[in-house]
């Protein structure tokens, strides 16, 4: 049976695909089973294809855990031998068990509400491709909804090494509001989005923020955090 260090445990598979969240620790077990100082497992998952993230043993078929921590990872027979009278035994039916993914920064509500309305430019190689994707997204967007590109890209990933111009956004989406968030320093709005949020020459920039205006005092569509990003979030929140 494989005994894991704390570092190995932190990289050992948890049954995330089965809704199980286990975090690693080190625990030594007697070859003859639990000793008086050992707790029986609360849970054993067996008959699984476990990705351990351990180069020395990348695959296992069973795992035992107690109080949210790993006790052991190994083959079915040796792990099942650790069961106690109250151990819950889960047969994974040969399914894949992967490491738990602990993401400290999630936008679950936004993702759930807007997934089909957001456009992602992650990894897009050129601005020409990005603008083609934007035009396609506009055709899929219901009337009254916005097209949002909310992070996940940087201008230097594009072959053109620049952001789209406001004129390009207006040409691609003359009637559909478009909001493009670049990192957390600026946002681009097309004319339709400016109309939707009600920004005009009388709209004042909040403290630490800039609603960029042209020589005539009209908003250009560029919002800038200087350094406060409140204007970016507040504008995005105005969308449907």
Question: Which domains, and CATH codes, for the chain?
Answer: 6-97 (2.30.40.10), 108-237 (3.10.310.70)
Closest CA relative to residue 35, chosen from 86, 90, 84, 89: 84
CB contact at 8 A, 71 and 62: no
Q: Around 170, how many Cα atoms within 13 Å sit in the side-chain half-sphere? A: 10
The whole-number mean pLDDT for each consecutive block of 10 residues of the chain, a chain of 240 residues, reads 43 39 37 54 96 92 92 96 96 90 74 83 96 96 92 93 95 96 94 96 95 96 95 91
Separation between Cα atoms, residue 64 and residue 32, nearest integer Å: 16
pLDDT of residue 147: 95
Q: What is the pLDDT of residue 99?
A: 74
* DSSP classification of residue 116: G
């Amino acid at each position: 049976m494989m005994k894991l260090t704390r570092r190995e445990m932190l990289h050992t598979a948890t049954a995330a695909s089965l809704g199980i969240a286990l975090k690693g620790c080190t625990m030594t077990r007697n070859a003859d089973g639990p000793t008086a100082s050992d707790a029986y497992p609360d849970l054993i998952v067996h008959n699984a294809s476990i990705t351990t993230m351990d180069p020395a043993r990348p695959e296992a078929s069973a795992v035992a855990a107690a109080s949210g921590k790993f006790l052991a990872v190994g083959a079915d027979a040796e792990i099942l031998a650790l069961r106690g009278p109250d151990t819950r035994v889960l047969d994974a039916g040969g399914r894949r068990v992967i490491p738990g993914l602990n993401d400290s920064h999630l936008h679950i509500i936004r993702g759930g509400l807007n997934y089909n309305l957001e456009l992602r430019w992650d990894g897009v190689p050129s601005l020409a491709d990005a603008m083609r994707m934007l035009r396609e997204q506009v055709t899929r967007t219901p009337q009254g909804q916005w097209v949002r590109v909310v992070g996940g890209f940087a201008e230097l990933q594009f072959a053109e090494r620049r952001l789209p111009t406001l004129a390009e956004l207006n040409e691609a989406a003359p009637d559909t509001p478009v909001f493009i968030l670049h990192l957390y320093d600026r946002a681009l709005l097309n004319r339709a989005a400016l109309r939707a949020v009600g920004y005009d020459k009388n709209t004042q920039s909040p403290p630490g923020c800039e609603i960029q205006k042209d020589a005539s005092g009209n908003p250009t569509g560029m919002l800038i955090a200087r350094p406060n990003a409140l204007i970016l979030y507040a504008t995005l929140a105005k969308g449907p």
